[in-house]
Amino acid sequence: IQPLMTTLIFTVVFGNIAGLPTDGLPKFLFYMAGTILWSYFSSVVNATSNTFIANSHIMGKVYFPRLAVPVSTSLSNIISFGIQLAMFIVIYLICILTGSADIMPSFYLLLVPLVILQLMLLSMSFGVIISSLTTKYRDLAMLVGFGLQLWQYATPVAYGLQLIPQKWLGLYMLNPVTPSILTFRYAFFGTGYFSVGYYLLSWVITLALLAISIMLFNRIEKNFMDTV
């Protein structure tokens, strides 16, 4: 229900009232595609950013691979994302069969599983980094929600790429979530924006953040009980 309501609000406020560009794509499907991806990303970041503190009572008593906690959180959120994705596909197929939208899937649908995998790794990486830092700096956890809200508006969820000046495009695409959402839309709609270079760059950033998060996690887990 939540992504549907968010999509409806975005369609009315940003699409109809503000008239923000949607790269020539149907407004409702455009916003829903961005919303379900961002909803998964933000929910995993929120859930994993509290890994050490929320599970300190377990980690202090029983030994198990600590990294299993954020991994399981990322995987469990796939269930709700799968339901939202199924709703998106149903509406998407209805629009195609009824001819209410001039869209066609592209060969890049094969990249959709990679897009989902990247978002899972990226969100888990950010969550683990924040969780590792909050063991010492507790106030940081209070900024996560606010930071995600700002990050959402720096990502093409509520607007199309046409809104970004060409001279700032390279800097804008350094946001690793941006190429994922653009690739997802391009795969389903067959139009929009897709760049192999920027998409590969987003994977490089994702893997770099994953490596940093694992190293930081392994370092913190050795003595986190002394600071939690």
pLDDT tens per residue across span 202-223: 999 999 999 998 888 878 776 6
Does residue 226 surpass a pLDDT of 60?
A: no
Please report the pLDDT score of residue 223 as a whole number: 67
User: Cα separations (Å) of 22 from 29, 135, 138, 158, 189?
Assistant: 10, 41, 39, 8, 12
- The closest of 160, 150, 215 to 182, measured between CA atoms, is 160
- The closest of 29, 43, 64 to 189, measured between CA atoms, is 29
Please report the pLDDT score of residue 219 as a whole number: 81
What confidence tier does 146 reach under pLDDT thresholds 50, 70, 90? confident
20, 11, 27, 16: CA torsion to nearest 10: -50
What integer is the mean pLDDT of 29-33? 91
Instruction: Report the mean per-residue pLDDT for the chain.
Output: 85
Cα Dmax for the chain:
62
Q: Give pTM, 2 decimals.
A: 0.88
**Whole-angstrom Cα distance, residue 228 to residue 218?**
16
Does residue 143 surpass a pLDDT of 90?
A: no
Residue 14 DSSP one-character state:
I
53, 130, 183, 178: CA torsion to nearest 10: 140
Please report the pLDDT score of residue 62 as a whole number: 66
User: Cα separations (Å) of 112 from 44, 90, 209?
Assistant: 18, 16, 21
More reliable by pLDDT, 53 or 31: 31
User: pLDDT tens digit string along 54-84?
Assistant: 666 666 666 667 777 788 888 888 999 999 9
Please report the pLDDT score of residue 173 as a whole number: 92
